[in-house]
Amino acid sequence: EANETEWESAFRKSVATQVTSLLEGARPTKVTFLAKSLGTVVLASLEVTSQMTAQVQAIWVTPIFGQGSVRAGAVAHGWRSLLIAGGADPLHVPNHHAAVREALAADSLVLPNADHSLEVPGDVLATVDGLRALAQAVLAFARP
């Protein structure tokens, strides 16, 4: 990736190597990836083949869709997806989120006033309500 630091590149490659090794060894029929924040950068760059697993789906939590490579990778994978973001997250770019959602026909949850940690600063009950909505969305996604 063009703008990656050395640390980010090493991290992305290390995780990709481990995931590839696990998939090649286990050869599961279905895989659900769940990635948050920096993990979405890695997930977007993974090379998963049909020889590794028959079906892949992904849950993208606070995805870094502000990076073109993450958006492009998510769309290129074409996986059934759930996108979760905080409406007040400075890394959440609504039009990029919408573009990925539309390209993938993905399920989507944007938690109002939630930050990158999916917390609503100063409002514990709103944070708990958001986490409940997140749990419900994940459960609904996991049981299509």
Find tokens 């299509």 and name the residue: 144
Question: Rounded to whole angstroms, how far apart are CA atoms 47 and 121?
Answer: 37
- Residue-level length of the chain: 144
Assign 54 a pLDDT band (cuts: 50, 70, 90): confident
Over residues 3-24, the pLDDT tens digits come to 778 988 898 889 989 998 998 8
Distance CA 141, CA 93 (A): 23
Write out the DSSP string of 91-114: T--HHHHHHHHHHHT-EEEEETT-
pTM here is 0.92
pLDDT in tens, 56-115: 999 999 999 999 999 999 999 999 999 999 999 999 999 999 999 999 999 999 999 999
- Taken in order of first residue, the domains within the chain and their CATH numbers are 6-142 (3.40.50.1820)
DSSP, res 34: E
